[in-house]
Amino acid sequence: MTGDERRRQRYALPGGEPTDDDLRLDAELTRAELAETAAAVLRKANVADRVRDTAEDRLRLVRGKTVALAERARASAGSVSARSTLVVGGLFVVVVLVVRIRRRRADSA
């Protein structure tokens, strides 16, 4: 139950004017609410810590993405080199076949 709800409940009781106890309770509740509000304002006003925390969070995020990107690049480089080996091998076979065909034609002529 919040301080406002307690206050409304206390003042809603029959009997008219608030008693000294009611006023003391009201003062205590007001102090507690003020302390909570002041703490919230201080948390929001501490800009340097908030900026530092945000920067650290983003730095961690960027580092994680960098590591993931590097891993993907390594994996892609491996598949590219495997493909290039296959392409070079295929070209070699084609060249050898063309040379043999030309030699056979030259020998038969």
Q: How many domains does the chain have?
A: 1
User: What are the angstrom distances between the C-alpha of 109 and each of 38, 102, 104, 105?
Assistant: 103, 11, 9, 6
pTM for this prediction: 0.36
Residue 19 lies in a domain: yes
- Element (DSSP H or E) covering residue 18: none
Residue 63 lies in a domain: no
Residue 31 lies in a domain: yes
Q: Are 6 and 29 in contact (CB under 8 A)?
A: yes
- Which structure tokens are listed for 83? 């493909």
pLDDT in tens, 49-105: 888 899 999 999 998 888 888 888 888 777 767 778 888 889 999 999 999 998 888
Report the C-alpha gap between 55 and 47 in whole angstroms. Answer: 12
Note down the domain range covering 1. Answer: 1-45
Residue 3 lies in a domain: yes
37/9: higher pLDDT: 37
Residue 84 lies in a domain: no
Residue 40 lies in a domain: yes
4/39: higher pLDDT: 39
Q: How many residues in total does the chain contain?
A: 109
Classify 74 in phi/psi space as left (phi over 0), alpha (psi -120 to 50) or beta. Answer: alpha
pLDDT in tens, 11-47: 655 667 878 888 899 999 999 999 999 998 888 888 8
